[in-house]
Amino acid sequence: MENYLNGELQIYIMRIKKVSEVIGNRVYTDSGDFFGEIEEVNLSDNKIDGWRIKVGGSVVSMIGGAKGVIIPHQFVKAVGDVFLINKSALPTPDSGMDEVPEDLM
């Protein structure tokens, strides 16, 4: 990506991560609460559709005891050494968010 500032060309380099590099990364909400770890990515037409996350900590009781959930990619705010997701992505027991069956965990 290029940008001109005060007549000078500035080039920004975006570091792209491979999906395999982020499996196992910790997931936090944008308010800093630990949510879980990335277990798998869901692809649709060669694009990331969602992330299967093994939930941990106090989140397990908040979502009705499920061991994992699928978070749509649109709720991911940042991908790096950790994942940041919107707090609004947190599922509730009656939210209808996709829960991962225990036999797939």
Per-residue pLDDT of 40-51, as tens digits, reads 999 999 888 999
Residues of the chain with pLDDT under 70: 1-16, 59-63, 65, 89-105
pTM for this one?
A: 0.67
Domains and CATH numbers, the chain: 21-92+96-100 (2.30.30.240)
* pLDDT value for 13: 59
* pLDDT value for 31: 85
Q: How far apart are CA 10 and CA 13, in angstroms?
A: 10
* CA dist 24 → 51, 82, 96, 102 (Å): 11, 9, 25, 18
* pLDDT value for 10: 59
